[in-house]
Amino acid sequence: KTNNTGQARASFLEARQLLEQAAKKERNNEEVSQILADNLIRTARLGTELKDFATAAAETDRAVEILRKLVDVPGSRPEFRRDLAMAL
């Protein structure tokens, strides 16, 4: 299981690089930001399984920061609040 978890984490990290590039190019794209936050949360969970708690905490903190920004936008979508609640 640990090997599969490590492979999954590597895949999430690859995807994150692409998402971060997209987020930089399209700073106001809420969908890209939401997907990036989701990637961070999933990677943090895998990090917890691998007992990499410091990295998992940093990834969760970053996801929460992204989701808080999305929630703060007037008229933001309800799923942003749900995602933020789940990340906390």
Phi, psi of 21 (to 5 degrees): -65, -45
Mean pLDDT, residues 20-48: 93
Angle, helices 53-72/30-49, rounded to nearest 10 degrees: 160
How much of the chain exceeds pLDDT 70, in percent? 98
> How confident is the prediction for the chain on average, in pLDDT?
91
Q: What is the pLDDT of residue 22?
A: 93
Q: How far is CA 28 from the centre of its chain?
A: 17
Mean pLDDT, residues 23-33: 92
Q: Would you say how long the chain is, in residues?
A: 88
Give the pLDDT band of residue 1 (cuts 50, 70, 90). Answer: low
Mean pLDDT, residues 35-58: 93
- Say what the pTM is: 0.87
